[in-house]
Amino acid sequence: MFHALCFMTTMDNFEIKFVKYLNQIGSKKIDKFLGVVNAVSFLAFFWIFLTVVAIVTHPIITEKFIVAVIIVVVLHFTITEGIIKHFLIRFYPMRRRPYVAYPEMIKSVGRKFSDSSFPSSHMATTAAMLVVIVSFYPSLLIFSLLLILLMAFSRLHNGMHYPSDVIAGIFLGFVYGYAALRIAEMVL
């Protein structure tokens, strides 16, 4: 038990230092850009735009693609937002975001989210949508990996998440994306 507590304290210290380091990188222009990248309205527009482009350019896959995207949305909002961030919080304490827990060390950039830091919803939706997109458009793999890295950096830099929140969000996103593809295959 003692060793587990020491490991957790060491991990927490590493995460805090890592977020603090990334939070100090940049300038006002980078902060502004990352604030836009993380805006929920920008993300919604971006995913809708990519979906429309996919439908227009490849109408043969439209039905399967749309079903997979809808399943991703349902899985994300049911599991990440509904169960993990709003239901389980009744039984376990909410993980405070880095800028809230350490305001003297970490500044917030962009919108100040106040719900639980764990897991990263931005990372979950980004990873899930990109799994679906890459499964239909493998040529977008490099672009998708770069987008995941940009989103991960921005969530840490903006003081919204710890590395473990980001990793958990990516993991959930991959699960949602692959599950959506399998369900879409079974349904269609």
- Averaged over 159-173, what is the pLDDT? 96
Looking at 13-22, 29-38, 46-55, 93-102, which range is the least confident one? 46-55
CA distance 89 to 23: 27
Burial 90-103 (b: 16+ CB within 10 A, else e): eeeeebebbbbbbe
For the cut 50, the answer to whether the pLDDT of residue 2 exceeds it is no
Query: pLDDT for 68-117, tens place per residue?
Result: 999 999 999 999 999 998 898 888 888 999 999 999 999 988 888 888 88
Per-residue pLDDT, averaged over 63-69, amounts to 89
**What is residue 86's predicted lDDT score, i.e. its pLDDT?**
86
Model pLDDT, residue 6: 40
Q: Would you state the pLDDT for residue 93?
A: 85
Q: Give the pLDDT of residue 175.
A: 97
Query: Is the pLDDT at 9 greater than 60, yes or no?
Result: no
User: Span 129-158, mean pLDDT?
Assistant: 91
Mean pLDDT of 137-143: 87
Looking at per-residue confidence, does 147 or 52 come out higher? 147
| pLDDT at 56 (0 to 100) | 83
Q: For residue 26, is it left (φ>0), alpha (ψ between -120 and 50) or beta?
A: left
Query: Among residues of the chain, what percentage have pLDDT more than 90?
Result: 51
What is the total count of domains within the chain?
1
Please state, in angstroms and rounded to a whole number, the distance separating the CA atoms of residues 12 and 14.
5
Report the C-alpha gap between 171 and 173 in whole angstroms: 5
Q: Tell me how far apart the alpha carbons of residues 106 and 98 are, in angstroms, rounded to a whole number.
A: 7
pLDDT of residue 99: 93
In the predicted model, is pLDDT for residue 26 greater than 80?
no
pTM of the predicted structure, to 2 decimals: 0.87
Kindly indicate the confidence band of residue 1, based on its pLDDT and cuts at 50, 70 and 90.
very low
Structure token pair of residue 21: 């380091």
Q: Which residue range is the domain that position 34 belongs to?
A: 2-187
Residue of higher predicted confidence among 165 and 2: 165
